[in-house]
Structure 1
Amino acid sequence: MSHFPLWKKLLVIAICAIGVLIALPNMFYDRVERSNDAVTALERGAAETPELAAERALWPRWLPSDLVNLGLDLRGGAHLLVEVRTEDVHAERLEGLWPLLRDKLRDQRGQVGSVRRLDGTKDELRIRIGEAAGMEAALQAVHDASQPVFSLTAAGARDFQATADGDVLVVTLTDAEKAAVDERTMQQSLEIIRRRVDETGTREPSIQRQGADRVLIQVPGIGSAEELLAIIGKTARLSFHPVVSRASDPKAAPGLDNIIYPSMNEKGVYYILEKRAVVTGDQLVDSQPAFDQNGRPAVNFRFDPAGGAAFGAYTAANIGKPFAIVLDGQVISAPVIQSHIAGGSGIITGNFSVEESTQLAILLRAGALPAEITVLEQRTVGPELGQDSVDAGLLSGLVALGAVGVFMVLVYGLFGLFANVALLLNIVLIFALMDMIGATLTMPGIAGIVLTIGMAVDANVLVFERIREELKTARGPSRAIGLGFERAFATIIDANLTTLIVALVLYLMGSGPVRGFAVTLGLGIACSVFTAVYVTQLIIGAWFDWRRPKSITV
């Protein structure tokens, strides 16, 4: 057929061949998945055992090995909805201002007199000055210490402010600073949760922010929600504090600049520590599970240059004094500094099992959560239920494909058979595109594919009906076929463009299952236009050039 040039034929064939090659691993999902897992394990440093080598050999490495990711409802796994307690970060931000403001006010001692911190609520910092007459100077000093908030919506705002209450300065964070802190906290929480989940080797987790302070975590393939919570639920805040004293009463008054923490390994023992840490886990660059000199599980750690310098300087100046290692508000141990520890590395020991030391190393390496999280919803989807969903989706797809295929053959005969071949290629190309963009297939996504099967032949119906009309007036079947495709094309684009706009709106406005439906629907529309117009035209053209019929019946 002269109206379908050679370059277009070669391009269509190439696209279809590449699509089939990319989608091929999904026909052997279990084998390819096991092979990929073995390759990943070897890349992570696992010993190459005969079993692992056999698993790797299940799929040739010269073939594509990317798979369409299965969502939680198809694979089974864990679902968590958590809330990040950003108000705790506000309190820590105020706590960190005290040394700065204390020094600034002491520089004005001639006007403000003595400076003393008072107890207050967690959302304010109260500072009493000795000379009430110097309040204006004190307020100015606090204002000079504040910084602009770097935010597009808070132009000109400062990060904190002070008001006078008699001879007491009341320092609070501004609304603009609270909003900026909340945004930073959420972004950091999302990144750390993602790093923690990735450290476990789990494939394609879904970690999304919901609303102002909530995070939705869905991890296919993990055993239970409790297992997932054990990975992400701990804040894993590591810090090193000077020890003031020990106590047996948890209600003992630690002092204004001190804090009391229980011992993790000594029942009934509490440590009073200086509130300001010498170094924190934020300065860690690596942590690995290890064993101490007695063969007990432990964790090796290493600080960055700044943390290593602070750690080394403190140990050199405090030989013979205890130094507490604190994790999430509990003292793991409080060893006495025996010598200067240079290099910024050390070891954390405690009553750990091998699994606990491995998990602690993962948590420390991924980083501490900036705030505690509260679980609002947790759910476990069993692998059996996920397999049932896969089977149900596969069955619905086959039924839809069979029904549409029979209809097209009954109504359009041989041309209907050509449309069915294009429909099969359409489904293959959908999976190929999902592979390429890393999309996740869910039950609503399967619904989108089933809907696409029904919609995909609409374009063929338009073309075939147009060919029928052209056969009544055109000069010969070849001309009728060419005009049929040419004149139906605009209608096909219009009909599919409106549906594509709906899919785009669903993706942008929706979340979770709605997005899964929108992705497969949108990809299906794009693929159906390509296969219904170009693939069907190529097949019909090849058949026509082979048979050279004098007349055709659609």
Structure 2
Amino acid sequence: MLNQTPIWKYILVIFMLGLCGLYALPNLYGEDHAVQISSGRDTTVSQSLADDVKQSLDQANINYKNVEFEDERILVRLPDSDTQLVVREKLDDKLGDDYFVAMNLAPDTPDWLDELGGTPMKLGLDLRGGVHFLMEVDMNSAIDTSVGGIVDEFRDRLREEKLRYRTVRQAGQAVDIIFRDAEVLDSAQFFLRNNYPDMSFDERDDLTLRATFSEQRLAEIRDYAVKQNITIIRNRVNQLGVAEPLVQKQGQDRIVVQLPGIQDTAKAKEILNATATLNFRLVDQDGDVRDALSGRIPAGSELLYSRDGQPVLLKKQIMLEGSHIIDASNSLDENGFPQVNINLDGKGGSKMSNVSKENVGKPMATVFIEYKATDERGPDGKLIFEKKEEVINVATIQTQLGSSFRITGIDSAGEARDLALLLRAGALIAPIQIVEERTVGPSLGKENIELGMQAITYGLIAVLLFMLVYYRVFGIVANVALIANVVMIVGVMSMIPGATLTLPGMAGIVLTVGMAVDANVLIFERIREEIRDGRSPQQAIHFGYDNAFSTILDANITTFIAGMILFAVGTGPIKGFSITLMIGIVTSMFTAIIVTRVLVNLIWGGKRVKKLAI
């Protein structure tokens, strides 16, 4: 018999609508104004701190919803934005610079729904409010770092080839290799040209060979510096508890950072400026620290200080840079003392293996390096950065190290956790500077949401009325499918981790609402044609759906391809529009073809129908 729906289709429709409806639910509960407390570099957030915060709020008679300690951060939920400002200022005064205190918005999802993984849609900066930074990478420092690395590499390779040299030194963004005689210089030049095709070598006076990077290699260094910094900034922001950040490249040497929901610009800048570099160096055991303090520092060594102000004499040569670290975690060793477990990439593991093999039993220092912008600018007009170095750990090399090793001798579990955080987040290839910042207030974001919702609502009502008047009972079926389509879009957007709803994304939903009924219009008009051609109502429904399917599929595939191209080449708002457009196309195909067919078959299928209300 025509127009009978198999059981599996009923199950599929119920399952899909139920699943999307469940994950769309969190969007009905809204968000709480909140103040978030995250640990600083030398501090740890704990349950006892959460209890202290709660006690302080009670003593000040401040009304709050809840104080939660989860994922190594404290979240104070508050009833309104005015209370949020008061609590932020109070906690800022109480905790000082030891912790990050920032205003945020926290989903008010019920616990049972939260346990199922239900979260509201991620809103972009234009809807939720937050802070926007445009950051510039110091490319000169990136090139200097690469040149410094090639200096050490030249030394090792020339020693391996038994090519004796007087010295290898960095000369700006070039490397000067000074030899004792012309014959060795010629041999070294031949060897280096064959092994380093991306560098140029020029003979200079007094037996000096100058090596410089080619333009192509310099372009690669600049591109790598931006990409590496993007990855590390994203990791740092995620590690510090800032939810759903947007970090992406803009132009040749700039990075856009958007933190939706964060209203505290000063604290957001502190989080971003916490990014730094790390490296491992040997302690100079031959030199005397007392002599170094009086100004007599041995050649090839450098005097630095630890966190507690103790002087440490280190070798200038870097054993390993933090950019080679791919993972780090804190744990306890076999004696119950804190330690940090480190995993390196292939190149870093090979380098650490070679260096540690020759230095077993010697102390190795982990150096934390921070770049801070000064008020001075160079000849190129860019800010000059001040470099600050600090020894955060000294441990003895017990055995030859490889791609995986551990750092022991750490004073506390909190210090091990902080060190693992810094190592895991990686090291910046070059310092960065905030060149532009702006804040989008929550009131403006709220206004954008209200206007966007009005556009969606008005568009939806207009389409519902048109379908109801023009197609009567079949219009009711199409309207049910259209509402189901909107629910599915919201549910899918909430389920996809990387999907963010922006103002252009809301425009995509409005467009999808209009497009969603296109398929039903094609089907219903085809059914009318079949009826005019003399077919029975059951035959008209059957052939109407079957014959319209190929046309609907072709039209939606071409639009979906356009959406994929927008997503691939677009950035920011364009991506937001393309995501909602593509999701809307898929869900509208499902609701317009499968859901409406199930409803039509449920109402008219298998029955003696003399006339269709269409």
**For the superposition of Structure 1 and Structure 2, which TM-score range results when normalised by the shorter chain?**
0.7 to 0.9
Q: Name the residue aligned to 1:382.
A: 441
Distance 2:366 2:127 in 1: 47
Q: Contact 1:240 / 1:325 at 8 angstroms: preserved in 2?
A: yes
Does residue 217 (structure 1) correspond to residue 270 (structure 2)? The answer is: no
Runs of 5+ unmatched residues, structure 1: 39-43, 148-157, 290-298
Does residue 199 (structure 1) correspond to residue 239 (structure 2)? The answer is: yes
Q: Name the residue aligned to 1:397.
A: 456
Counterparts of 1:9-158 in structure 2, within 5 Å, are 10-11=8-9, 13-29=11-27, 31=29, 58-60=111-113, 63=116, 65-102=118-155, 115-117=166-168, 120-121=171-172, 123-132=173-182, 134-143=184-193, 146-147=195-196, 158=197
Under a length normalisation based on structure 2, what TM-score does the superposition of the two structures give? 0.69
Q: Percent identity?
A: 31
Does residue 3 (structure 1) correspond to residue 2 (structure 2)? The answer is: yes
Distance 1:528 1:283 in 2: 46
Post-superposition shift, 1:66?
A: 4.3
Distance 1:18 1:10 in 2: 12
Q: Name the Cα RMSD after superposition.
A: 4.7
Q: Name the residue aligned to 1:327.
A: 369
Distance 2:214 2:226 in 1: 18
Distance 1:195 1:544 in 2: 56
Among candidates 294, 303, 316, match of residue 275 of structure 1: 316
Counterparts of 1:106-505 in structure 2, within 5 Å, are 115-117=166-168, 120-121=171-172, 123-132=173-182, 134-143=184-193, 146-147=195-196, 158-166=197-205, 167-233=207-273, 234-240=275-281, 242=283, 257=300, 274-277=315-318, 281=322, 286=328, 325-328=367-370, 329-332=387-390, 344-347=407-410, 362-438=421-497, 439-505=499-565
Q: Contact 1:209 / 1:215 at 8 angstroms: preserved in 2?
A: yes
User: Deviations 1:137-191 (Å, cap 9, x if unpaired)?
Assistant: 33124336x35xxxxxxxxxx2434210122210122345434444544443333
Among candidates 572, 582, 604, match of residue 522 of structure 1: 582
Post-superposition shift, 1:202?
A: 3.1
Post-superposition shift, 1:363?
A: 3.2
1:52/1:169 Cα in 2 relative to 1: closer, same or farther (>3 Å)?
A: closer
Distance 2:203 2:235 in 1: 44
The letter of the residue matching 2:171 is: G
1:300/1:423 Cα in 2 relative to 1: closer, same or farther (>3 Å)?
A: same
Distance 1:285 1:523 in 2: 35
1:475/1:364 Cα in 2 relative to 1: closer, same or farther (>3 Å)?
A: closer
Distance 2:482 2:160 in 1: 79
Q: Contact 1:236 / 1:364 at 8 angstroms: preserved in 2?
A: no
Q: Contact 1:287 / 1:302 at 8 angstroms: preserved in 2?
A: yes
The letter of the residue matching 1:373 is: I
The letter of the residue matching 2:167 is: R
Post-superposition shift, 1:107?
A: 8.1
1:115/1:376 Cα in 2 relative to 1: closer, same or farther (>3 Å)?
A: same
Post-superposition shift, 1:512?
A: 1.1
Post-superposition shift, 1:445?
A: 0.9
Q: Mean Cα displacement is larger for which, 172-181 or 401-410?
A: 172-181
1:236/1:259 Cα in 2 relative to 1: closer, same or farther (>3 Å)?
A: same
User: Deviations 1:191-215 (Å, cap 9, x if unpaired)?
Assistant: 3222212212333333333454443
1:6/1:461 Cα in 2 relative to 1: closer, same or farther (>3 Å)?
A: closer
Distance 1:475 1:117 in 2: 91
Q: Contact 1:235 / 1:370 at 8 angstroms: preserved in 2?
A: no
Q: Which is richer in strand?
A: 2
1:413/1:119 Cα in 2 relative to 1: closer, same or farther (>3 Å)?
A: closer
Post-superposition shift, 1:458?
A: 2.0
Q: Name the residue aligned to 1:152.
A: none
Distance 1:236 1:105 in 2: 28
Q: Contact 1:264 / 1:330 at 8 angstroms: preserved in 2?
A: no
Q: Contact 2:4 / 2:601 at 8 angstroms: preserved in 1?
A: no
Does residue 532 (structure 1) correspond to residue 592 (structure 2)? The answer is: yes
Post-superposition shift, 1:432?
A: 3.1
User: Deviations 1:445-490 (Å, cap 9, x if unpaired)?
Assistant: 1110111111211222222223223222323322222233233333
Q: Contact 1:261 / 1:271 at 8 angstroms: preserved in 2?
A: yes
1:245/1:287 Cα in 2 relative to 1: closer, same or farther (>3 Å)?
A: farther
Post-superposition shift, 1:286?
A: 4.5
Q: Name the residue aligned to 1:510.
A: 570
Runs of 5+ unmatched residues, structure 2: 37-44, 52-65, 70-76, 78-107, 332-337, 371-386, 399-405
Under a length normalisation based on structure 1, what TM-score does the superposition of the two structures give? 0.75
Q: Mean Cα displacement is larger for which, 48-57 or 465-474?
A: 48-57
Q: Contact 1:188 / 1:369 at 8 angstroms: preserved in 2?
A: yes
1:253/1:127 Cα in 2 relative to 1: closer, same or farther (>3 Å)?
A: farther
1:407/1:300 Cα in 2 relative to 1: closer, same or farther (>3 Å)?
A: same
Q: Contact 2:129 / 2:445 at 8 angstroms: preserved in 1?
A: yes
Distance 2:365 2:539 in 1: 90
Q: Contact 2:339 / 2:410 at 8 angstroms: preserved in 1?
A: yes
Distance 1:465 1:46 in 2: 65
